Amino acid sequence: MAKSFKYVILGGGVAAGYAAREFSKQGLKSGELAIISKEAVAPYERPALSKGFLFPESPARLPGFHVCVGSGGERLAPEWYQQQGIELILSTEIVKADLAAKSLSSANGETIEYQTLIIATGSAVIKLTDFGVEGADSKNIFYLREIDDAERLYEAIKAKNNGKAVIVGGGYIGLELSAILRLNNIDVTMVYPEPWCMPRLFTSEIAAFYEEYYAKNKGVTIIKGTVAAGFTANSNGEVKEVKLKDGRVLEADIVVVGVGAKPLTNLFKGKVEEDKGGIKTDAFFKTSVDDVYAVGDVATFPMKMYGDVRRVEHVDHARKSAEQAVKAIKAKENGETIEEYDYLPYFYSRAFDLSWQFYGDNVGEAVVFGDRDPKSAKPKFGTYWIKDGKVFGVFLEGGTPEENKAIAKAAKVQPPAENQDQLAQEGVSFATKL
C-alpha cells in the first residue's frame, strides 16, 4: 500500500528541518508533509557534530541541537512534527525515484507518492576506500557527517585517552577536529597535500596564522605537501600506523579523514538537468522538472550578486534555500510571486578560542589588516578582497557581533576601495563606518 502526501522532503538534514518550519509558518494541514531520512533521528544542526558534540566537558546531545537552534530559532523536537501532523519517515533509504509517476521507492519495498518533491539529500563524505587506499577499511578510521559517525568517534576518543590521532585533510573538518581532539588530550598530527590549510578560502597569510597558532600554541604537528598512502592495523584490525606518500610513517590510535564531500544526486541522474556537479535550479530552487525542487548542497543555483551559477556546501545556504523553496511552492499555489534568491556567501568556524567569519567572494587582490600574531592574547585580523576597485569579500578573525554584521554589509554593498594602504590601516573600521 503506497503512502501519499502533498509534499515530500527527501533528506532529513538541516534543510529538511528549516523547510518543515517554513511550511508550518505558511500554513500546513495535518498529513500533507512527510520527511524521509536515512538517519534515525529528527533533523538536527549538523555543525554541532564537529564542535559541541565532541567536547570533553558537557558535550552537546540531542534533543539539544535539533533544528532550528543553530540560527537562534525554536527547537523542533520530534514531538513538534507530531503536533504539526508532519510524518517523519526515519531510517529509510530511497533507492528509486520515478519523477513521471511522482513516486519514491524505499529499500524495504515501500512506495511513497507525492505531488511536490523537495530534494534535500545533501552530501556524502568522500572516503579513502573509494580510491582503494591500502588499509583504509581498518577500525578507528573515522569520517564525520552524521550523528552515528560522531557517536563512534566520541567513544573512540574516550577509549584512546592520551593516544595519538592523525587528521587527514586540512579543510574545515581537519581544523575543527584537530582542535576538538587536542581539547580531549589527544596528540594530533594533521596531514594535507596543499601548501597551506583551507586553500579554497584562506590566503597564505591567513593560513599562516592558524597553522602557527595550532602548532605553537596548541601542540598540533602539521605535515604539508603529502597524503596518506596507506594504513597498517594491529591484530584486532584497529589502525596503528599511517603511511605517508613521502615515506614517513605516523603512529595512530585514531584517524579522522576530512577530504571533502560529494552531492547525493545519484537517484536523479538523467532525470533532471545538472550543472557543476549539482541539480540545476532557478532562483526559486525549481528544477527542470515540474513540482520538483532541490535545495542545499545538491542545488546549483543562480548567484544573483555575481551573475553566475554556483553550488554551495554550507549550513547557512541549506537553511535559506530550504525556506526559499517552500515560499516559492506556496506562492505558486496562491498565484503569487516572491523575490529571487539573492544569496551572500557566508562561512564561519570556531576552534579553540578562535572564531572567524567570511562574507562575499574571495576574488581579486587580498588586503590584510590587524594583529596576526598567534602569541597575542586576543588576535584580531582580517582581509578584504578588492576587485575592480570594490570590496568583494571580507574575512575577520576575532570580530564582535557588530563587526561581523559590518563586514557582511561591506561584502553585500561592495563599497569602492581605491586606496589599499589606507584600507589596510583602517582595518575593520572601514566596514563599521559604512
Digit-coded pLDDT (tens) for 104-156: 999 999 999 999 999 999 999 999 999 999 999 999 999 999 999 999 999 99
The chain-wide mean pLDDT, for the chain, equals 97
Which grid coordinates are listed for 333? 499555489
d(CA 232, CA 240): 6
pLDDT of residue 290: 97
Please spell the DSSP secondary structure of 191-219, one letter per residue.
Answer: EESSSSSSTTT--HHHHHHHHHIIIIIH-
The partner residues of 198 in beta bridges, in order of sequence, read: none
Mean pLDDT of 338-355: 97
pLDDT tops 90 at residue 270: yes
Instruction: Identify which of 162, 190, 161, 159 has the alpha carbon closest to the alpha carbon of residue 174.
Output: 190
Q: How remote is the C-alpha of 94 from its chain's centroid?
A: 23
pLDDT of residue 1: 78
Category of 132 on φ-ψ map: left (φ > 0), alpha (ψ -120 to 50) or beta:
left
d(CA 93, CA 139): 25
We find that the CATH architecture of domain 353-432 is 2-Layer Sandwich (3.30)
> Could you give the C-alpha distances from 225 to 22, 168, 205, 258, in angstroms and in order?
45, 12, 17, 16
pLDDT bin (cut points 50, 70, 90) of residue 369 is very high
Q: What is the largest CA-CA distance in the chain?
A: 70
Question: Coil, strand, or helix at residue 51?
Answer: coil
We find that the CATH architecture of domain 128-259 is 3-Layer(bba) Sandwich (3.50)
d(CA 343, CA 91): 32
Mean pLDDT of 64-70: 97
* Backbone angles phi and psi of 348, in degrees to 5: -155, 160
Does the predicted TM-score (pTM) go above 0.85?
Answer: yes
pLDDT tops 90 at residue 345: yes
Question: What residues contact residue 391 under an 8 Å CB cut-off, 6+ apart?
Answer: 360, 384, 385, 410, 411, 414, 415, 417
Residue ranges with strand state E in 304-379 = 308-311, 346-351, 354-360, 365-371
| Per-residue pLDDT reduced to its tens digit, 183-227 | 999 999 999 999 999 999 999 999 999 999 999 999 999 999 999
Task: Domain ranges for the chain, please list them.
Answer: 3-124+262-333, 128-259, 353-432
pLDDT of residue 191: 98
The partner residues of 346 in beta bridges, in order of sequence, read: 359
Q: Does domain 3-124+262-333 have CATH number 3.30.300.30?
A: no
Cβ atoms 191, 167 nearer than 8 A? yes
Question: Coil, strand, or helix at residue 48?
Answer: helix
Question: Coil, strand, or helix at residue 330?
Answer: helix
How does strand 111-119 pair with strand 3-10?
Answer: parallel
pLDDT of residue 121: 98
Provide the 8-state DSSP code for 293.
E
Terminal-to-terminal C-alpha distance of the chain: 60
> Could you give the C-alpha distances from 186 to 102, 136, 137, 182, in angstroms and in order?
50, 21, 22, 5
Q: Say yes or no: do domains 3-124+262-333 and 128-259 share a fold.
A: yes
